[in-house]
Chain A
Amino acid sequence: MKTKTLSKTLVGSVIVGGLLATAVADAFAQAKEQFIGLPSYRVGAYAAGGSGVFGGWIDYMAMINERDGGVGGVKLTWEECETEYNNARGVECYERLKKKGSTGNSVFQPVSTGITYSVLDKVVADKIPMVTIGYGRTDAADGRVFPWVFPMITTYWSQATTMVKYIGSKEGGIDKLKGKKIVYLYHDSAFGKEGLSVLEKQSQKHGFSFVPLPVAHPGNEQQSQWLKIRQEKPDWVILWGWGVMNPTALKAAAKTGYPREKMVGVWWSGAEEDAIPAGDASKGFTAAGFNVAGPNYPVIKAIQDKVYKQNKGNMEDKSRIGSVYYNRGVVHGIITVEAIRTAQGKYGKRPLSGEEMRWGFEHIDIDAKRLKELGAEGFMPNLKITCADHEGSGLVKYQQWDGKQWKIVSDWIEPDREMVRGMIEESAAKYAKEKGITPRDCSKEG
């Protein structure tokens, strides 16, 4: 009887011990995970862009887990939430994701200007950094007023000034723009209107005439605009489109006989998904980019080796690996991981909160040496973020569609920093006044 009781006690102790050990191990494992919420869009009108960007991003994080065992021993975990590129769903996803993971969602990157505006106040209240690479609110680059928002690498305003510089270089010098005419064909939305003010200022500075022409959403019919362009006879057309507006514009240009070599597009018009549907009409079209296309970079090779060879890749269509959108997703992954690495340097190798991640983003410094170590030399520009400047280098490269693929046709082009920074500070100061925000004193920030 005594033996029976003893064995019962022993069995009980083993079970309780086992459960406890499992719970501790679980808690430990959970404690060594960094959660990233991904508000992706894989269905709907912009699914092609979303599946490429989020696919590349997930693949990069999977590669870091497979190759390095995570960042500083902390595994990266993530969960997608479908936004369909819809603002209301984006807010819903933000709320759903923010409490996930051991430290809550540590960064929000919606890849949508509309969703960015919708959660702008929420990220401040919840202390979650919002990173908007190549979209969103340009004046958020003033980190003194927008400490929680990071429109990184380059903004729409920087891009617009590089477009003028690129066009100037094609005309034989920026001074040759005087007397020329540039049409700005834009998506009639907050995204499209972002370029208006800075291009207006550029036209005054360089003496070219500027003709803005809006295209109503979604932009699948542009006959009137292109007839106007035929009448205006511009020297150049800047295409500031998104989604179906881009191939429609290229087709309409061919239809009206406007040379595609005289069209320069925003980086959301410069992907394979924009050029291929327009067929031969795309040949000669040039577009901006803060990342380049192509699979021949060590970082992409590492993803193929460590992720796809193990059948763990995110992309169903493997031919899209190395496409513009895919590589843009990899850039998102690189920046997210580098922010974690930077923050771990200060706070230790453990899961980080949103506040700690914000510090990481604000101290990112990816120089040429680091880019080479990452296998991303020439893949994206250098990136250094400071308390005051949440944009970084602002550099933009241009690629031209040769009928089959994008070919790089420029070096990294510097924006008109003086003009852009002036506009950013002016606009941010106005916002701060409206909202009663006291800008941070960056000399006191650590």
Chain B
Amino acid sequence: MQFFIEVLLGGLLSGVMYSFVALGFVLIYKASGVFNFAQGAMVFAAALTFVGFQEMGLPFPAALLAAFAVMVVLGIVTERVVLRPLVNQPPITLFMATIGLTYVIEGLAQGVWGANVRGLELGIEDVPVQWLMDSTGIGVSTFDLFGAGVAALLVTLLALFFQYTRIGRALRAVADDHQAALSIGIPLQTIWRIVWAVAGFVALVAGLIWGARNGVSFSLTFTALKALPVLILGGFTSIPGAIVGGLIIGSTEKLAEVYLGEYVGGGIDSWFPYVMALAFLLVRPEGLFGEKHIDRV
């Protein structure tokens, strides 16, 4: 039982890490209906930029601010160069554009900062909480708990931003209906710029957490693969959905790997979440918290 609890807890905390990346997808999809394929590349670029500024001698807060500024600029340029010319184009066109954007961001980041693998220290040790280990025998990482705390803070901030600020309300209006929002004078392009900047901030946070865990390398782009089943499960338009989806995916994939893995050759945690998400799609296509889409004919 103790081992089961440890696997479950570990899975839940891993799920929080997936949620970080999923949040970026949700923000952009919610505001513009674009599935941003470049979110993984943004995570990588943000972390690489942060480490790059640190290597230039900037202290932690300054490097964080500078990296955020770069992500804001990236968001603005994306809106101006990629999205604006494609307004009113079918969603698949916008999706294809973000695939192109992925390669641009990956290449640009490596071109500017180099392809070297770097370490990233946030000052939080990735070791088991000793008192918990001594008293219960269950190993839970200090870093994972820190990650969960950051996720809780981030979701709270986003929820407050969307709920109580003018821009947040405008974002929600755009998300609900572009045409209606435009008709009452909400500037669509400004909203898109803001949402891409916020997604850039979320990518930076995800990049820092994942980078501190595994190092800052091109592989950070693969974190997007972990977010996709979370999105299918939680819904593409729900911030709480990204968190709950992450928790479900994280815990089930770990339990499946540990308890079922040996019967099917192991290494199933890469595809099991997708199987689960697909099965879920059959029952609830809009995801756990996604908006039900009804077309009047």
Contact = CB atoms under 8 A, between A and B. Distances in A.
Interface residues of A, number: 44
Interface of B: 3, 6-7, 10-11, 14, 106-107, 110, 114-121, 126-128, 133, 139, 141, 143-144, 210, 213-219, 221-223, 226, 253-254, 257-258, 261, 265-271
Interface stretch (A4-12, A250-258, A420-428): A250-258
A107 B284 CA distance: 56
Contacts of A276: 117-119, 215
Contact of B139 (A217, A225, A255): A255
Nearest to A273: B117
A251 B267 contact: no
B107 A43 contact: yes
Given A221-B269, A247-B215, A251-B126, A48 B222 contact: no
Contacts of B269: 216, 221, 224
A311 interface: no
Contacts, number: 126
B119 A255 contact: no
Given A216-B270, A220-B210, 16 more contacts: A47-B115, A216-B269, A216-B271, A218-B219, A220-B219, A224-B253, A244-B215, A244-B217, A251-B214, A255-B127, A255-B141, A257-B128, A273-B116, A277-B120, A277-B215, A278-B215
Given A47-B115, A257-B139, A231 B3 contact: yes
A223 B215 contact: no
Nearest to A186: B267
Nearest to A277: B215
A201 B200 CA distance: 51
B235 to A, nearest CB: 23
Dominant secondary structure at the B interface: helix
Interface in A81-115: none
Contacts of A80: none
B222 A218 contact: yes
Given A243-B217, A277-B215, A214 B265 contact: yes
Contacts of A434: none
B127 A257 contact: yes
B119 A279 contact: yes
Q: Which of A48, A212, A230 has the most CB of B within 10 A?
A: A48
Q: Which of B216, B218, B223, B253 has the most CB of A within 10 A?
A: B218
**Of B115, B127, B269, which is in contact with the most chain A CB atoms at under 10 Å from its CB?**
B115
A51 interface: yes
